[in-house]
Amino acid sequence: MRKIAILLFLACSGPACAEAAQSQGLYDARADEAVSIFEKYCVVNGGTREEAEKLIAGSAIAKPLPTNVVSDLQSGRKGGIAWLIATPHKGQLILAYDPIGVCEVAVVAADGGAMHRAFGSMIDHAKYQLEVQVKGGEAQISKAHGSEIVAEPYSFPFLGKTATLTLTTADKTMPIGFQHTMTSTFTQPAKVK
């Protein structure tokens, strides 16, 4: 029965399918919302904060975090910016731009399987739309606060740079207040001499 539900979920799209998948415990709208925000503000724009500043400033769903809180979240670095975002399906996340060139979406809580599905779908979309090879890095697994934490990086050429997108998941919300994070970095490819 579970195999059939999974196959239906993978072959299905639209609101009716989402409801069916949710009833089987295979869908969490908060994961889709988080990955959508990550894709829009950390990937499509090359991970730069200017677009987010234009689109999010004054938004009813996003509240800017105080600079001292942002600095604390970014290991004391100055110059970062972040917003607390409430999504339509009661998701909570932080969209942040670190001055060292990292864009991050930190997700308070969402189903881990749904996060993997949504993030994987975004990676597959990039692969097919851009017609590029996506390299999956070795998953880094660690334990902290009684939880297994898995970080999975993916790299591909984008906008003349190498994009590295990483999904980090935990099986519960950690003491820092997040369960999952997604990060993007864009680096210049190494020059061949």
Residue type, 145: H
Alpha carbons 26 and 61: distance in angstroms, whole number: 26
**Per-residue confidence band for 4, with pLDDT thresholds at 50, 70 and 90:** very low
For 112-162, the pLDDT digits (tens) are: 999 999 999 999 998 999 899 999 989 999 998 888 999 999 999 988 899
Query: What pLDDT sits at residue 23?
Result: 45
Query: What pLDDT sits at residue 8?
Result: 27
DSSP per-residue string spanning the chain:
-HHHHHHHHHH--SHHHHHHHHHTT---HHHHHHHHHHIIIIITTTT-HHHHHHHHTT-SSEEEPPHHHHHHHTTT-SS-EEEEEE-TTS-EEEEEEETTTEEEEEES---HHHHHHHHHHHHHHHHHHHT-PPEEPPPEEEEETTEEEEEEEEEEEETTEEEEEEEEEESS--TTS-SEEEEEEEEPPPPP-
pTM for the full model?
0.81
